[in-house]
Amino acid sequence: MDDHKIIELYWERKETAIEETSKKYGRLCACIAQNILLNYEDSEECVNDTYFAVWNTIPDRRPNIFSAFISRITRNLALKKFEYLSAAKRNPIAVASFEELGDCVSGTDSVESEAECRHIENIIDKFLWQQCEEKRNVFIRRYWYFDSIEDICHSTGFSQSKIKSMLYEMRRKLRAHLENEGIEV
């Protein structure tokens, strides 16, 4: 079923919307949650929470790209759960991803408002769209979906050194791009 029909089911408040969403995007949501949480039960709970959040969100607004919409909800819920669960333990892949990006995008107090956050998001988005598709996809898989270097190598056919080099170069360019835009890094 295409995304427009699924969204219509949500607007009509039909429970089959959740079933169709699960059929089409269940594996994607589970992969995102699993990459962050590293626990099947927590990931499954996060995916179910995603369906509930989508059910409650769609009547108020109609998403343009449903896959991105549901991925973002899953990712945000998984990160909240990760933060809650990580008082004593850490997900080494997610922590490594955050540490790698820490050199070019930090969580300092200099970003004081939601408008500034949106501005930075737009700058990063424009930067990514200026990159070739191959590099952009590797970057997004690592830092949005928290895929491991090994998983990225497996799906792209590139060596670990090539992926690491590509990510290093992208982080370096992103840092320079942010600084050129007047963002303090």
| Tens digit of each residue's pLDDT (9 = 90 or more) over 74-125 | 999 999 998 888 765 555 556 666 666 665 655 544 445 567 777 888 888 8
Residues contacting residue 177 through CB under 8 Å, at least 6 positions apart = 123, 127
Higher pLDDT among residues 88 and 31, named by residue: 31
> Mean per-residue pLDDT for 135-146?
90
Long-range contacts of 25-32 (CB under 8 A, 24+ apart): 25/66, 25/67, 25/70, 25/71, 28/67, 28/70, 28/71, 28/74, 29/70, 29/71, 29/74, 31/145, 32/71, 32/74, 32/75, 32/78, 32/145, 32/146
Half-sphere exposure of 13 (CA within 13 A, CB side): 3
Q: Measuring CA to CA, which residue among 145, 137, 180 is closest to residue 172?
A: 180
The fraction of the chain above a pLDDT of 90, given in percent, is 56
25 or 146, which is more confident? Answer: 25
The pTM of the full predicted model, rounded to 2 decimals, is 0.67
The 10s digit of each residue's pLDDT in 39-77 is: 999 999 999 999 999 999 987 778 888 998 999 999 999
